[in-house]
């Protein structure tokens, strides 16, 4: 456990220090590359993982199509919070002019880099000697604590919401990771969708209700991965032969 916690602390520190305030593709890719290099070094030096096994060990493998499809549906559901919020409150949420460009950065950093650390390293290592439920429960407090800087910099309301979302989404994102064949690509898609709030502009007077709506979405919508992956896994019935 000491080696695991040391490795987790190192990977999180690199992820946090290199994390861009504005996730442009360039800065996000640099953070992703540095985090991946740190995770690979930790896996080799602390856990004895052979270099040839690093892609599999860190979840950098091709995802199963059905899990990726379920992740795409859930990601679309997460994005629905923006038009719904405008419809229900009357506050206009507008896309930044560079939203399409920043979306690449959001996926590279909040999707791939963070999932590489959270699922590819933390959850996967804990899962090797634990059941799914026990591994999720063990990773929950770790992932919540990594959002402590949000609490310190933005105040208790946003900070506690961020820590709660990080803890609760551990369940569906870990499930997606496993359903995808121990691949971070499916959970990265949902994770990035949750963080697309960085692509929009919100009126100042709507900040609090928007934050609440965003938190509610992040807590509820990702849970849809459970029924969606069960439906996708059902075998198709062939036509009866007459």
Q: What Rg, from alpha-carbon coordinates, does the chain have?
A: 18
pLDDT band at 233 (very low <50, low <70, confident <90, very high): low
Asked if 190 contacts 78 with a C-beta cutoff of 8 angstroms, the reply is: yes
Residue 241: pLDDT above 50? no
Using DSSP, state whether 218 is helix, strand or coil. helix
Determine the average pLDDT of the residues in 2-22.
94
DSSP 152: H
Looking at residue 63, its pLDDT comes to 95
Determine the average pLDDT of the residues in 87-110.
94
In this structure, what token pair is assigned to residue 16?
């946090």
pLDDT in tens, 144-193: 988 888 877 777 877 888 889 999 999 999 999 999 999 999 999 999 99
Looking at residue 151, its pLDDT comes to 78
Looking at residue 155, its pLDDT comes to 76
Looking at residue 154, its pLDDT comes to 75
Burial label for 5, CB within 10 Å (0-12, 13-18, 19+), is exposed
Give the span between the Cα atoms of 191 and 49, in whole angstroms. Answer: 27
Looking at residue 236, its pLDDT comes to 47
pLDDT band at 238 (very low <50, low <70, confident <90, very high): very low
Burial label for 90, CB within 10 Å (0-12, 13-18, 19+), is exposed
Q: Give the dihedral of Cα atoms 185, 189, 191, 194; nearest 10 deg.
A: 180
Determine the average pLDDT of the residues in 13-18.
94
* Least confident range of 117-121, 211-215, 221-225: 211-215
pLDDT band at 237 (very low <50, low <70, confident <90, very high): very low
pLDDT in tens, 40-66: 999 999 999 999 999 999 999 999 999
Looking at residue 173, its pLDDT comes to 97
Looking at residue 234, its pLDDT comes to 56
Asked if 11 contacts 35 with a C-beta cutoff of 8 angstroms, the reply is: yes
Please identify which residue in the block is written with the tokens 């490795």: 7
Looking at residue 149, its pLDDT comes to 83
Looking at residue 1, its pLDDT comes to 87
Go through 206-218 and write b for each residue having 16 or more CB atoms within 10 A of its CB, e for each that does not: beeebbebbbebb
pLDDT in tens, 128-139: 999 999 999 999
Using DSSP, state whether 200 is helix, strand or coil. strand
Looking at residue 232, its pLDDT comes to 57
Residues with Cβ within 8 Å of 107's Cβ and at least 6 positions away in sequence, in order, are: 28, 188, 189, 192
DSSP string for 80-141: THHHHHHHHH-PPPEE-TTHHHHHHHHIIIIIIIHHIIIIIIIIHHHHTTS-HHHHHHHHHH
Determine the average pLDDT of the residues in 105-124.
96
Looking at residue 177, its pLDDT comes to 97
Average pLDDT of the residues of the chain: 91
HSE value, Cβ hemisphere, 13 Å, CA-based, for 94: 7
Give the span between the Cα atoms of 209 and 91, in whole angstroms. Answer: 10
Looking at residue 34, its pLDDT comes to 97
């Amino acid at each position: 456990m000491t080696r695991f916690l040391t490795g987790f602390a190192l990977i999180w520190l690199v992820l946090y220090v290199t994390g861009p305030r504005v996730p442009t593709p360039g800065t996000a890719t640099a953070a992703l590359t540095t985090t991946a290099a740190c995770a690979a070094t930790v896996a080799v030096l602390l856990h004895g993982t052979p270099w040839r096994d690093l892609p599999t060990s860190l979840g950098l493998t091709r995802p199963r199509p059905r899990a990726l499809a379920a992740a795409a549906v859930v990601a679309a559901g997460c994005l629905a919070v923006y038009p719904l919020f405008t419809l229900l409150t009357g506050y206009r949420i507008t896309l930044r002019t560079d939203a399409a460009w920043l979306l690449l950065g959001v996926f590279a950093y909040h999707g791939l880099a963070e999932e590489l650390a959270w699922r590819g390293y933390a959850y996967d290592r804990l899962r090797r000697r634990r059941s799914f439920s026990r591994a999720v429960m063990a990773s929950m407090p770790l992932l919540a604590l990594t959002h402590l800087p949000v609490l310190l910099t933005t105040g208790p309301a946003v900070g506690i919401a961020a820590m709660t979302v990080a803890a609760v989404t551990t369940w569906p994102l870990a499930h997606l990771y496993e359903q995808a064949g121990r691949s971070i690509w499916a959970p990265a898609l949902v994770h990035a969708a949750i963080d697309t709030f960085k692509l929009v502009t919100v009126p100042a007077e709507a900040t609090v209700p928007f934050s609440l709506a965003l938190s509610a979405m992040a807590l509820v919508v990702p849970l849809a991965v459970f029924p969606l992956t069960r439906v996708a896994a059902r075998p198709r019935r062939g036509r009866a032969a007459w």
